[in-house]
Amino acid sequence: MALSTPWILLVVVGVAIAAVAAGLLWGGRSSRAAAPDPAFVARAERLRRLPSVRRATRLRVLALSAVLVLGACSAVAAGVVAARPLAAQTIVPENHSRDVMLCLDVSGSMNDVDVEILDVFGELTSGFDGERIGLTIFNSSPVQVFPLTDDYDFVARHLSGLRESIEQGTAGGEIPEHWVGTLDGPGSSLIGDGLAACALRFDHADDERSRSVILATDNETVGDTIVTLAEAAAYSAERGIRVFALNPIQDGESEPSRRLAQAVAETGGAAYALRGETTVGDIIAEIETQEARALTARAEVVRTDAPAPWILILLVAGLAAVVIAWRARA
């Protein structure tokens, strides 16, 4: 048992001991000062040997001893209650959820549709319940906007801030905020590197969890990538990550669209047209087909006030002491 303020108990015990000592000392002095002259009674020892007198004497001694013990117990219990006893419990939180990484191409060819895609991301976020969501953007290099989190207010603020940055564009000739860090290298829209970076953002690699990437890109790559789209898709599939693509020019005819659809299909995902009528619902339904897994967080020790047993001891001991004292006087 832990106490929030243990010094209070020490103070109470000290006061109780001092009170008992002072009472015994005061009682002894008062009885000596007020004692009348002794009167000798013949054969008094015969009275003290009577069974009834001896029994009454023993009962009175026991009663007074019990009152003293119960009073001490009451004082200690009162001190413990005042010191706030705490009950400690170790809790290992578990979060049954899925992990979803939003992966957005912010290259120049996507400027006209990124705002619309962020609106779709917002709809997806509002459709989830308990899922952890992260966001990574990429162009010639990837940048993590925020890691996996289930704080949806936090997610909404960052999506809104990114949307405003894209809407403002290059006003004033300055590099827009959403391009900072995404231009570290030659080329643009390096989708293989972007998808690989998104796949690497998932934590708890040793845990079996539902992991999905929602990739928004037109797959119009310019320049050489470190990781090809096929290699990034194969890596994602190897780690059990399903990729769902949002393509603003998804038509099934162009070569970039076919390559993108084929790559995500190898992960168990699918490609959707950005303006498809059932895009959001389909993606949410597909993600929710995977079982939500428990994510074990760090163990926490929770302490709560637990005065109930000590209050009960205080009440019982105090009442018993009063009853016994009353009976002893009678």
CA 137 to chain centre: 28
pTM over 0.85, yes/no = no
Residue 295: band (very low, low, confident or very high) from pLDDT cuts 50, 70, 90: very low
pLDDT tens-digit readout, 187-215: 888 889 999 999 999 987 777 778 889 88
Give the mean model confidence (pLDDT) for residues 221-249.
88
- In the chain, what percentage of residues exceed pLDDT 70? 78
Identify the pLDDT of residue 294: 44
Identify the pLDDT of residue 57: 75
Evaluated on CA atoms 313, 317, 319, 320, the torsion sign reads positive
C-alpha Rg value of the chain to the nearest Å: 39
Q: Give the whole-angstrom CA distance, residue 232 versus residue 219.
A: 13
pLDDT tens-digit readout, 44-90: 666 667 777 778 777 777 877 787 788 888 888 888 888 887 777 76
Complete domains list, the chain, with CATH? 2-88+305-329 (no CATH), 94-296 (3.40.50.410)
